[in-house]
Amino acid sequence: MCIRTLLFSTLVILIVVNVDEPALSAEPRKTHPARSPSPTPANISSSGQPGQAIGTSPAIGAPIAIGALTPDMLTRLEIFLDSRSFGPGKIDGKAGEFVGLALGRYQTAQEKDSQPGQLDSELQQELQKIDPAYIEYTFTEADQNWIGPVPRRPAALAKVKKAIYRSPLDFLAERFHSDPDFIRKLNPKMKFDQLRPGTVVQVPNVRPFQIETISPVPDVPPRPEFSQRIIKVDTKARMLDLIDGNRILVSFPITPGSQRLPAPVGTWKIVKMTILPNFRWDEAMLQHGRRSGHYYLIPPGPRNLVGVVWIGLNKTGIGIHGTDNPDSIGRSVSHGCIRLANWDAIRLAAEVTTGMTVQIF
């Protein structure tokens, strides 16, 4: 959602967030450890098989194409890539375009001489080590507090205190980086609209996106150690890459504006970073790039229209940000900005700094 201005509480600029002693929750990550994801919350436990079988893994052997993988192996590949911040898009056990793009970028980063779209025997073995591929998650009362009736229209949304999740399935799908239909597939008998605290749900084994651990930060301090990194946004492939020297550190799928208001091609700088922003919804700004006096201030939360992160560029109203709708990633629906899933946006925010270069092409 984009061409816009964001309102800062004291300077009437990009963002407004009220917070005492904020702290960015995500720690900078400089390497990609070769390990399976290891969720940490107490209400997550190991699980054998998902509620409904999604295929069995083939014997390890010669290189195999993504399109020839079973749903189980595809899910393991998505989990593997996601855990290393090479985002495959929503985890769904399908051979979508972002899975191939993420795999290719991961292989390039690891200097693997692999055929495009192919998994060599070493990677196949890595996927088999993801044990278990599915885990049990116990839905809690604290989780329930992040769910409620949240309107979609800006005028009504501006009246709520926090832009929280709209349903238990909405909460779980984002928490485990998944397509809602995939969560349903893993839990075929579950009625998600009746989910209650104490219910055990089968989910993919990824490190969860924990909205409750994210603290508001109106203006993230500079991190000079990241200043030489470059963000490259490929609007045709719809992928964002973070480059350090000649190495890809992270790579995530994006929505790069729309046909009517595409992301601005060129070289820009990051001038502002905010965690859990308020969003100044101004239709005149969104449609015509002109600020007006008729606007709504949308409160922070995962269903804020710019999600949980705003990374502002030195191009008026343009930034890299999260989303209130993970289904929109990859589609041409934003107003000139670069949109990511919230679980990817918060990871990106931990790896970049103001003053960095952003190349959009």
**Residue 100's closest CA among 251, 302, 248?**
251
Distance (Å) of CA 127 to CA 9, 74, 76, 97, 137: 47, 9, 6, 19, 22
DSSP letter (8 states) at residue 172: H
Q: Which range has the worst mean pLDDT, 13-17, 150-154, 265-269, 278-282?
A: 13-17
**Is the Cβ–Cβ distance between 281 and 290 less than 8 Å?**
no
Side chain identity, residue 309: V
Q: Cβ-count burial of 260 within 10 angstroms (0-12 exposed, 13-18 middle, 19+ buried)? A: exposed
Q: For 90-108, what is the mean pLDDT?
A: 96
Taking the model in full, what pTM does it have? 0.86
Q: Are 242 and 105 in contact (CB under 8 A)?
A: no
pLDDT tens digits for range 29-68:
544 444 445 555 789 988 665 554 455 555 667 999 999 9
Q: Of the ranges 42-56, 179-193, 327-341, which is most confident?
A: 179-193
193's tokens: 């609209």
Give Cα 114 distance to the centre of its chain: 27
User: Is 335 among the residues known to form the active site?
Assistant: no
CA–CA distances in Å: residue 231 to residues 22, 32, 133, 318: 25, 18, 31, 15
pLDDT score of 61: 73
Domain chopping of the chain, boundaries: 224-360
Q: Cα 88–39–304 angle (5° rounding)?
A: 60
CATH architecture of 224-360: Beta Barrel (2.40)
Task: Please say if the pLDDT value at position 139 is more than 50.
Answer: yes
- State yes or no: pLDDT of 212 exceeds 60: yes
| Residue with token string 């190495």 | 247
Count the neighbouring beta carbons within 10 Å of the beta carbon of residue 78: 31
Among 2, 177, 335, 337, which one carries the catalytic annotation?
337
Q: Annotated catalytic, 2? A: no
State mean pLDDT over 183-203: 97
Given 2, 177, 321, 335, which residue is catalytic? 321
Model confidence at 289, pLDDT cuts 50, 70, 90, reads low
Q: How far apart are CA 149 and CA 311, in angstroms?
A: 28
Hey, how many other C-beta atoms are within 10 angstroms of the C-beta on 52? Answer: 12
Q: Helix (H, G, I), strand (E, B), or coil: what is residue 64?
A: strand
Q: What is the pLDDT of residues 104-129, one digit of tens each?
A: 999 999 998 878 889 999 999 999 99
